[in-house]
Amino acid sequence: MESLKGKVAWVTGAGSGIGEAGAVALAQEGATVILSGRRKDALEAVAARINASGGGKALVEPADVTKAAAVGKVAEAIRAGQGRLDILVNNAGTNIPDRTWTRLKPEGIDTVIAGNLTSAFYVVQASLPMMRAQKAGVMIHTASWAGRYIGPVSGPAYVAAKHGMVAMSHTINLEECQNGIRSTVLCPGEVATPILLNRPVPETPETMARMIQPQDMGALIVFIARQPAHVCINEVVISPTHNRGYISTMQARAAAARQ
């Protein structure tokens, strides 16, 4: 396993949830983390926590990653200030309550596709030149269980966007492996993050406690980032042990057998 001391990481969606946990975990290993997201106050709170911990350090670069120009400005600030980019955690994402086909509207489609897929492309496109120049780098993208399995909970726009992110990550390995760049896409099942508050029926503390926790994802991000340069973990599918999708399937099967 490689050391992350002195490495530079850019984390999007770093103000909460998986992004925050990933940034904290990387900093604890000695990395300098650049935190991006829309909410400057949330980013500054995460940075203060990291900088007070005595590990690596955090810098705040707020940006709406659905805007290509804003993403480009952050990438340029990293290049000018740090001179390199070793780790990208491409984590920003969103969903909406009105997500089924019967309730979905054009503005909702735009919000979900831009927030989960277009933004991810912008961040990759802005990061690649630095990684190509140094002939090294690892990209870690937060997709979803919905990026591998189609189901009713996440909604069609989110499912389509996350499937697109999975495909995007694999195309990076296809084209950029010869440049020493590695891409990993994470497909987690339910993670106890604020995005779940956008579900039509918000989760309870009891159900959230059974889910994957953000800190679990932070540890996974560090594990991937510390792999030696000759190792690429292409994809990780991870779920809570208490998998409600599986449980519902088995309950339906049992009910059918009783009929």
Residues with catalytic roles? 158
Nearest 5°: phi and psi at 256? -65, -35
Q: What angle do CA 14, 16, 17 make, to 5 degrees?
A: 105
Distance between CA atoms of residues 159 and 116, nearest Å: 10
Distance between CA atoms of residues 163 and 147, nearest Å: 4
- Taking the C-alpha atoms of 162, 167, 168 and 172 in order, what is their torsion angle to the nearest 10 degrees? 150
- Cβ atoms of residues 189 and 245 within 8 Å: yes
Identify the CA nearest to 123 among candidates 178, 77, 82, 67.
67
Dmax (CA) of the chain: 67
